[in-house]
Amino acid sequence: MPTITIDGKPVTVDDGATILQAARAAGVHIPTLCHRDGLPPSTSCLVCVVQVDGAERMLPACATAARDGMAVASETEEVHAARRMALELLLGDHLGDCLGPCQVACPAGMNIPLMLRQIAAGAVHDAAGVARTSLVLPATLGRICPAPCEKVCRRAPLDEALAIRTLHRHAADSDLAADSYELPERAPATGKRVAIVGAGPAGLATAWHLLILGHEVTLYDDHDQAGGMLRHPELAASLHADILDEEISLVTRLGARMVLGERVGVADLRAENDALIVACGKVDGATAEALGLPMGSRGPAADRATGATDQPGVFVCGAALSPGRMAVRAVASGTRAATSADAFMRGDAPPASGREFNVSMGRQPEDELRAFAEGAATGPRVVAAGGAHAGYTDAEAAAEAARCLHCDCRALDDCRLRRYAMEYGASPTHHKCGQRKFERDASHPLVIYESGKCIDCGLCIEIASGAAEELGLTFVGRGFNVRMAVPLGEALSDGLRQVARECAEACPTGALVLREDAPGA
């Protein structure tokens, strides 16, 4: 029984065990994409490489036998660089979106595809929760937002973009009209107090998220009503004041205290609270001077991503940070400020800035776009029978939401390629190759196959072989064009009659996924 060391940890394993098995026994995590217990190693992904003393090159942990006295290093800079390169090469011709283009374009990063699926399924309350989590004021913004999400909708070139704004308005309106609106659960009280100067969309969003995180929040505004830019006369024609009032009331019902119609001394607020958020629109020199904040060309000097200033515990968001008139951007800025202030008060490291990791297919040729849309509901945008002012009925909203092409990855939460790309800082564009042609096989009753996401790991082929599928799966093509397919060009349903579900569950990238309507999906 050989004894080896992995990252300085000694471990004894059975004869014939691999370095990967030894690492698991030692509690050391080594990433893998093409490995599955019980199947022969294919060493195709090379994400599991390690350094072994005496070896001239890095070795795949999944296929290298542990030898007595072996010293293995799995967490060196060289190993990380090699794994990152392997991941970037796999990402180089990966054809698929991680996030839907609409979610990427939304300044608040709302999970629009999830919301649309929920509305299409009749789960309007759940959809409203998704919208409020990101937008805080989804019914209000559903009436005034310029909808940058709709401008990038992949459905637009085919007929017409999804009515995303109207749909999240419908979900929020329906939820507000419910007999008993359920406020989100708040975390246990932290004992920390936060003052927010400005009760416009940025301040309200900041308050909402800080309250949920368990902090005590007071909003200060020198106007008689909260709402900030949302009270502007230009918006009166499209924005119902009662809807805005009702959504603001949710913030106070959640626990926010409001001090309105008074001008406050910001320096005193900083001294009396654990954190101060400046969300009052344009900040003048006197306010900045009182806080000790240097002024830049666009306002107070602060980190554009986190809102943090050089004064500990002081944060800036909304138009005070980035002047503009798009309320959804102010909400997004307030959300980021809340996250930053929460980390500060807990003594945690500042949150990482930047958007979520995403691989994007970009613009598709018309023939590929039509193939992408195959199976989706057809027809142009649903028009509300009662007019735009009335909005959708439940049936109309469900029909409109069903037009979504579901551009986001069906395996987003389970994709190991994405998870390890984020872990090792891999760039999806560093080794960009010639893009494959989009193809989707939805002929199987249980699974959907997109060859552009396949990394040729061979797991599904081995699983089908082990189950003695009559046809099974195999690799076809040569060189970079090798792809998994059913032999003799037969249908996927003929190749996978017994183990389609197991193959989908083993796929590391979402190339083979369970259909949303599959039993148990």
Confidence of residue 520 (pLDDT cuts 50, 70, 90): low
The Cα-based distances of 410 to 145, 149, 152, 288, 485 in angstroms read: 28, 20, 19, 47, 20
Architecture of domain 193-346: 3-Layer(bba) Sandwich (3.50)
Sign of CA dihedral 104, 129, 401, 382: negative
Coil, helix or strand at residue 186: coil
Question: What amino acid is encoded at 414 in this protein?
Answer: D
Q: Using 50, 70 and 90 to split pLDDT, how confident is the model at 434?
A: low
pLDDT, one tens digit per residue, over 491-506 is 999 999 999 999 999 9
Residues in Cβ contact with 237 at an 8 Å cutoff, skipping those fewer than 6 apart: none
Q: CATH for 3-75?
A: 3.10.20.740
pLDDT value of residue 264? 86
pLDDT digits (tens, 9 = 90+) for 96-105: 999 999 999 9
The residue ranges of every structural domain in the chain are: 3-75, 101-181+361-401, 193-346, 435-514
pLDDT digits (tens, 9 = 90+) for 279-299: 988 887 787 887 788 887 777
Task: Tell me which of 3.90.650.10, 3.40.50.620, 3.40.50.300, 3.30.70.20 is the CATH number of domain 435-514.
Answer: 3.30.70.20
DSSP 498: S
* Type of residue at 62: C
Distant-in-sequence contacts of 72-77, Cβ < 8 A, 24+ apart? 72/4, 72/5, 72/6, 72/7, 72/19, 72/22, 72/23, 73/6, 73/7, 74/6, 74/7, 74/23, 74/28, 74/30, 74/50, 75/7, 76/51
pLDDT per residue over 140-175, tens digit each?
999 999 999 999 999 999 899 999 999 999 999 999
As to burial, measured by CB atoms within 10 angstroms (0-12 exposed, 13-18 middle, 19+ buried), residue 224 is exposed
Q: Please state which of the four CATH numbers 1.10.1060.10, 2.70.70.10, 3.10.20.30, 3.20.20.70 is assigned to the domain occupying 101-181+361-401.
A: 1.10.1060.10
Contact 209, 338 (CB under 8 A): yes
In the chain, what percentage of residues exceed pLDDT 90? 75
- Give the model confidence (pLDDT) of 54-93 as tens digits: 888 999 999 999 999 999 999 999 999 999 999 999 999 8
Q: What is the pLDDT of residues 213-249, one digit of tens each?
A: 999 999 999 999 999 989 887 766 667 788 999 999 9
